[in-house]
């Protein structure tokens, strides 16, 4: 496949999108696959920085014992499945507007079976969306529902571009914020949830991933982070924003949303996924939050 330059998608936070794509590609080819993404491998191969990364279980040194491509990749597979289920439940219940904030290399508009009449809005930086457009165009991929990419920075005004793209703030929406809040400043995160709350009609739902506090030094030296540095030269903790984190789940609860907070391990047990806490675990502080604005609190996601 033609490879893109490493600028934009290949650097900084953009490189983590390729890491997640490689994890999804590996998950797709597992015999006990939790979530399939046939497009993920194409993203990995299209960027020079990631072209040699594994995309299938057989290519992973030490298999599941590899902290990066085994355990960490499995985490991303589980996260993909849980958030897939969230969005499909909302779409099946009648929600027609799906908003992916910090969409990255997400291909849900292409790979999920959407009911008729749903619109997926993808908000991310222009270079990420352009890379995605080029790669998916090269394999003649077409979305299975209406898809509206929106080039915007989540730390700035993304509400107006979303509204101009057709988003209706008086109709319910399903929002997904997957793997992006770690990298935003506290001020940007507060702005994001202020905006989301303002644009969410009754019956709206949101799912998001957070790390509630700063990680201690022993966690920053954990096997997952160490192997990501060694194998990919990506220092994830250095990319995370180190401001004291806002309590976004508490903010939504204060604004009248009903809120559920879970650990990834709650869902690992449900899906019989071999993922459990370890000493000094980089995954142990992660939380997956689901919130509903009154008028449709569906709590079937509760593990």
In this structure, what CATH number is given to the domain that contains residue 179? 3.40.50.150
Q: Which residues of 9-21 are buried (b: 16+ CB within 10 A; e: fewer)?
A: bbeebbbbbbbbb
Q: Domain range for residue 173? A: 8-293
| 303 residues of the chain, pLDDT tens digit each | 555 544 456 565 689 999 999 999 999 999 999 999 999 999 999 999 999 999 999 999 999 999 999 999 999 999 999 999 999 999 999 999 999 999 999 999 999 999 999 999 999 999 999 999 999 999 999 999 999 999 999 999 999 999 999 999 999 999 999 999 999 999 999 999 999 999 999 999 999 999 987 788 899 889 999 999 999 999 999 999 988 999 999 999 999 999 999 999 999 999 989 899 999 999 999 999 999 998 544 443 444
Count the domains in the chain: 1
Q: Which residues lie below 8 Å from residue 194, measured CB to CB, with a gap of 6+?
A: none
| Domain assignment of residue 113, yes or no | yes
Q: How far apart are CA 247 and CA 238, in angstroms?
A: 22
Residue pair 77/35 in contact (Cβ under 8 Å)? The answer is: yes
Could you tell me if residue 1 is inside a domain? no
Kindly state whether residue 143 falls inside one of the protein's structural domains.
yes
Of the candidates 129, 127, 78, which has an alpha carbon nearest to the alpha carbon of residue 103?
A: 129
Does residue 299 fall inside a structural domain? no
Residue among 253, 258, 218, 256 nearest 237 (CA):
218
pTM of this prediction?
Answer: 0.93
Is 200 domain-assigned?
Answer: yes
Residue 303 resides in a domain: no
Tokens of 136: 């998916």
Is 109 domain-assigned? yes
C-alpha to C-alpha distance for 35 and 77, rounded to whole angstroms: 6
Burial class of residue 263 (count of CB atoms within 10 Å of its CB; 0-12, 13-18, 19+): middle
């Amino acid at each position: 496949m033609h490879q893109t330059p490493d600028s934009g998608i290949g650097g900084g936070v953009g490189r983590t999108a390729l890491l997640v794509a490689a994890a999804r590609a590996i998950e797709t080819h597992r015999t006990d696959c939790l979530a399939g993404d046939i497009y993920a491998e194409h993203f990995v191969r299209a960027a020079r920085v990631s072209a040699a990364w594994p995309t299938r279980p057989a290519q992973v040194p030490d298999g599941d014992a590899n902290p990066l491509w085994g355990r960490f990749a499995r985490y991303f597979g589980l996260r993909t499945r849980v958030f897939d289920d969230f969005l499909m439940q909302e779409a099946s219940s009648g929600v027609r507007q799906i908003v992916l904030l910090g969409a990255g290399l997400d291909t849900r508009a292409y790979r999920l079976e959407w009911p008729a009449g749903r619109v997926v809005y993808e908000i991310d930086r222009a270079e990420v969306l352009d890379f995605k457009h080029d790669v998916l165009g090269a394999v003649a991929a077409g979305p299975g529902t209406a898809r509206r990419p929106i080039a915007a920075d989540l730390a700035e005004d993304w509400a107006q571009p979303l509204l101009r793209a057709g988003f209706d703030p008086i109709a319910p929406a399903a929002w997904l914020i997957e793997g992006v809040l770690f990298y935003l400043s506290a001020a940007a995160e507060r702005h994001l949830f202020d905006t989301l709350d303002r644009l969410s009609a009754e019956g709206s739902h949101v799912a998001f991933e957070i790390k509630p506090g700063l990680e201690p030094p022993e966690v920053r030296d954990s096997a997952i982070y160490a192997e990501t540095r060694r194998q990919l030269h990506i220092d994830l903790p250095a990319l995370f924003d180190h401001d004291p984190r806002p309590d976004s789940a508490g903010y939504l609860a204060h604004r009248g949303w009903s809120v559920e907070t879970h650990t990834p391990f709650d869902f690992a047990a449900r899906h019989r996924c071999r993922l459990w806490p370890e000493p000094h675990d980089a995954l142990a502080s992660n939380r997956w939050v689901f919130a509903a604005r009154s008028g449709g609190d569906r709590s079937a996601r509760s593990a």
